[in-house]
């Protein structure tokens, strides 16, 4: 383990260097440090948000082409900061924000779009219907920010995309806003571009456990992603300023997505446990606060054998989704393999049997994550992703229990239409009786979450579940062996096929 111990520093160094290089390459009018671009759209001067982050003024001209700068008249108390939400650029026709990186193309970036639906320039919030495209990919289509915010019970929205700028024409990042018709307008309150480490999304090409490769291979170097969920499981929300790797991600609480009343137990790490990132898991994978808290099924083996710890995540139908599950054992006495071993089910299919976090990670306080790929049925509307954990008693582990520390869900661009756009989420039905288990408090953060309301009556048809786990461990593990159904029979009433990718060691 001696040589492995020196590797995390190397990874950190690489990240620091790539961010620094990106910074020197940024010669746009922006003043932000570290290669970031933050535009406070519609603002005449640069400003600092409540997190201490600097946002540049909006240089776009106020003209027919550039639209007009406008301000919101009412500041919703749940806005995290007046900047960038209280000003907007309002566009009557298509307009492109163009970001260039002359000295060095940044490779993969997070592109974040900030929306605060309000009345701007005398126009009703509900009249803003528009599309957004970047790097040849449709990010949003006929986007109704008002409806989306209403459906999510949020005052504002952050839409986060991951794009490979190198692959885009000329290495520029053009972000185009287009009103859906003459009667409608487009608006945006803030745009943020954050360079991300090269290896963050691109993984070795997975092979199916039963041989062959998925056709078409859904993840390429230039595949665009959208972050749909990013949850600090068993922990509290993490604000952008508290994220690791200077990536400014938001991590939300997981409790609103837990199915039914069986919440398990959430807990922090023992105070004498130190989170130590192994070489395969650079610190930017997730901040310590994500790994340092967890949710498990609970202390009672008999209770645990009688339920699945389940998260239900509404998503747009018809896309591939990359699920990233973050694990870390953080409490004594779990320090050895075969103490806590469990199944990971995705959409009622076995994504992984024999998941043993200690065996994968190498010890207590050592983070590890595993990726799974899910294919949802073609179609409009929303569908539910089910992620469930259940004890795997086959190897007679010491505890009949399961654990999860973090959960990310990314939507992958389609290639036939080069799109990430889904429908606006349906509004919740106020008259629906409901069992109360899905009632949620008004969210402070409107980030990322897809429409919960869609879950209620949503189509739960998943023609093919296609799962992969290239867990980032240096050990080969028997966890790779999972059930691959022999007779896939596509139907409309549930998942019919699960592919499990073999676990691949990652250097």
Does 264 participate in binding ligand NAG (rule CB under 6 A)? no
CA gap 39, 135 in Å, rounded: 18
Give the burial class of 231: count Cβ atoms within 10 A of its Cβ; 0-12 exposed, 13-18 middle, 19 or more buried. Answer: buried
**Which residue among 16, 31, 303, 332 contacts ligand NAG (CB under 6 A)?**
332
Closest CA to 183 of 127, 110, 239: 127
CB of 310 to ligand NAG, least distance (A): 8
CB of 221 to ligand NAG, least distance (A): 4
CB of 239 to ligand NAG, least distance (A): 26
Region from 34-42, 238-246, 252-260, 385-393 binding ligand NAG, contact rule CB under 6 A: 385-393
Question: Contact, 123 vs 70, CB < 8 A?
Answer: no
**Which residue among 32, 46, 138, 144 contacts ligand NAG (CB under 6 A)?**
144
Give the burial class of 105: count Cβ atoms within 10 A of its Cβ; 0-12 exposed, 13-18 middle, 19 or more buried. Answer: buried
**Percent helix / strand / coil, the chain, rounded to 5:** 15, 30, 55
Residues near ligand NAG (CB under 6 A), total? 33
Which residue intervals of 186-339 are DSSP H helices?
A: 288-291, 301-304
- Using DSSP, state whether 353 is helix, strand or coil: strand
What letters, b where the CB count within 10 A reaches 16 and e where it falls short, cover 297-315?
Answer: bbeeeeebeebbbbbbbbb
Question: Contact, 141 vs 196, CB < 8 A?
Answer: no
Q: In this structure, what are the phi and psi dihedrals at residue 282, rounded to the nearest 5 degrees? A: -65, 150
Does 482 participate in binding ligand NAG (rule CB under 6 A)? no
**Which residue among 93, 96, 166, 207 contacts ligand NAG (CB under 6 A)?**
166
Paired with 258 in beta bridges are 311
Does 483 participate in binding ligand NAG (rule CB under 6 A)? no
Q: Which is nearer to ligand NAG, 281 or 309 (CB)?
A: 309
Region from 46-54, 319-327, 386-394, 431-439 binding ligand NAG, contact rule CB under 6 A: 386-394
Question: Contact, 392 vs 484, CB < 8 A?
Answer: no
The footprint of ligand NAG on residues 73-112 (CB under 6 A) is 107-108
**Which residue among 14, 96, 239, 348 contacts ligand NAG (CB under 6 A)?**
348
Region from 153-161, 226-234, 254-262, 345-353 binding ligand NAG, contact rule CB under 6 A: 345-353
Does 162 participate in binding ligand NAG (rule CB under 6 A)? no
**Which residue among 341, 388, 412, 480 contacts ligand NAG (CB under 6 A)?**
388
Does 302 participate in binding ligand NAG (rule CB under 6 A)? no
Q: Which is nearer to ligand NAG, 239 or 506 (CB)?
A: 506
Region from 12-20, 159-167, 450-458, 468-476 binding ligand NAG, contact rule CB under 6 A: 159-167
CB of 288 to ligand NAG, least distance (A): 18
CB of 52 to ligand NAG, least distance (A): 28
- Using DSSP, state whether 315 is helix, strand or coil: strand
Closest CA to 355 of 333, 320, 328: 328
Q: What is the DSSP string of 97-146?
A: EEE--SS----EEEEEEEE----BTTB-GGGB-EEEEETTEEEEEEE-HH
Does 207 participate in binding ligand NAG (rule CB under 6 A)? no
Does 174 participate in binding ligand NAG (rule CB under 6 A)? no
CA gap 72, 494 in Å, rounded: 45
Does 496 participate in binding ligand NAG (rule CB under 6 A)? no
Region from 51-59, 143-151, 247-255, 283-291 binding ligand NAG, contact rule CB under 6 A: 143-151
**Which residue among 46, 178, 304, 347 contacts ligand NAG (CB under 6 A)?**
347
Q: Which is nearer to ligand NAG, 47 or 118 (CB)?
A: 118
Region from 1-9, 304-312, 315-323, 409-417 binding ligand NAG, contact rule CB under 6 A: 304-312
CA gap 373, 323 in Å, rounded: 6
CB of 303 to ligand NAG, least distance (A): 11
Which residue intervals of 402-469 are DSSP H helices?
A: 453-457
Paired with 239 in beta bridges are none
Q: Which is nearer to ligand NAG, 40 or 304 (CB)?
A: 304
The separation between the first and the last C-alpha atoms of the chain, rounded to the nearest angstrom, is 14
DSSP one-letter code for 41 = T
Does 14 participate in binding ligand NAG (rule CB under 6 A)? no
Q: Which is nearer to ligand NAG, 55 or 187 (CB)?
A: 187
CA gap 39, 190 in Å, rounded: 6
The arrangement of strands across the sheet holding 382-391 comes to: 309-316, 382-391, 342-346, 349-355
Q: Which is nearer to ligand NAG, 13 or 65 (CB)?
A: 13
Closest CA to 181 of 145, 137, 138, 127: 127
CB of 6 to ligand NAG, least distance (A): 24
**Which residue among 306, 395, 417, 418 contacts ligand NAG (CB under 6 A)?**
306
**Chain contacts with ligand NAG (rule: CB under 6 A):** 107-108, 126, 129, 144, 146-147, 150, 164, 166-167, 198, 202, 221-222, 270, 272, 306-308, 332, 345, 347-348, 384, 386, 388, 390, 427, 460, 462, 494-495
């Amino acid at each position: 383990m001696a040589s492995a111990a020196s590797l995390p520093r190397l990874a950190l160094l690489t990240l620091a260097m790539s961010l620094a290089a990106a910074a020197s390459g940024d010669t746009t009018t922006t003043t932000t440090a570290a290669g970031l671009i933050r535009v406070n759209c519609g603002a005449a001067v640069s400003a600092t948000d409540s997190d201490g982050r600097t946002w540049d003024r909006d240089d776009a001209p106020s003209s027919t082409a550039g639209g007009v700068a406008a301000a919101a008249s009412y500041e919703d108390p749940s806005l995290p900061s007046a900047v960038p939400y209280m000003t907007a650029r309002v566009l009557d026709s298509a307009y492109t924000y163009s970001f260039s990186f002359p000295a060095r193309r940044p490779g993969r970036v997070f592109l974040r779009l900030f929306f605060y639906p309000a009345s701007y320039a005398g126009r009703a919030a509900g009249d803003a219907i528009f599309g957004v495209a970047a790097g040849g990919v449709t990010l949003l289509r006929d986007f109704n920010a008002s409806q989306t915010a209403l459906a999510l019970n949020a005052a504002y929205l952050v839409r986060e995309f991951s794009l490979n700028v190198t692959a885009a024409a000329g290495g520029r990042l053009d972000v185009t806003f287009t009103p859906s018709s003459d009667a409608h307008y487009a608006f945006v309150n803030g745009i943020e571009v954050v360079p991300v480490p090269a290896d963050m999304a691109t993984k070795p090409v997975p092979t199916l456990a039963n041989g062959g490769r998925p056709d078409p291979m859904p993840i390429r170097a230039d595949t665009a992603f959208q972050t749909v969920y990013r949850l600090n499981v068993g922990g509290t929300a993490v604000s952008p300023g508290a994220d690791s790797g200077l990536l400014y991600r938001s991590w939300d609480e997981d409790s609103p997505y837990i199915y039914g009343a069986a919440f398990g137990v959430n807990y922090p790490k023992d105070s004498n446990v130190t989170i130590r990132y192994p070489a395969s898991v650079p610190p930017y994978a997730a901040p310590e606060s994500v790994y340092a808290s967890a949710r498990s099924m609970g202390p009672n083996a008999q209770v645990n054998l009688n339920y699945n710890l389940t998260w239900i995540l509404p998503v747009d139908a018809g896309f591939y989704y990359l699920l990233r599950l973050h694990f870390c054992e953080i409490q004594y006495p779990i320090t050895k393999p075969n103490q806590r071993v469990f199944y990971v089910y995705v959409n009622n299919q076995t994504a992984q049997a024999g998941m043993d976090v200690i065996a994968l990670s190498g010890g207590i306080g050592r983070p590890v994550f595993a990726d799974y790929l899910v294919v949802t049925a073609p179609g409009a509307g929303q569908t539910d992703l089910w992620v469930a954990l259940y004890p795997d008693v086959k190897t007679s582990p010491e505890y009949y229990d399961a654990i999860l520390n973090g959960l990310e869900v990314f939507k992958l661009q389609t290639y036939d239409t080069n799109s990430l756009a889904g429908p606006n989420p349906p509004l919740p039905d106020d008259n629906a009786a409901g069992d109360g288990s899905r009632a949620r408090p008004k969210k402070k953060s409107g980030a990322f979450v897809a429409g919960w309301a869609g879950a209620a009556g949503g189509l739960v048809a998943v023609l093919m579940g296609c799962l992969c786990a290239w867990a980032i461990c240096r050990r080969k593990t028997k966890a790779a062996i999972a059930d691959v159904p022999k007779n896939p029979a596509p139907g409309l009433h549930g998942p019919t096929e699960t592919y499990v990718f073999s676990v691949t060691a990652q250097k």
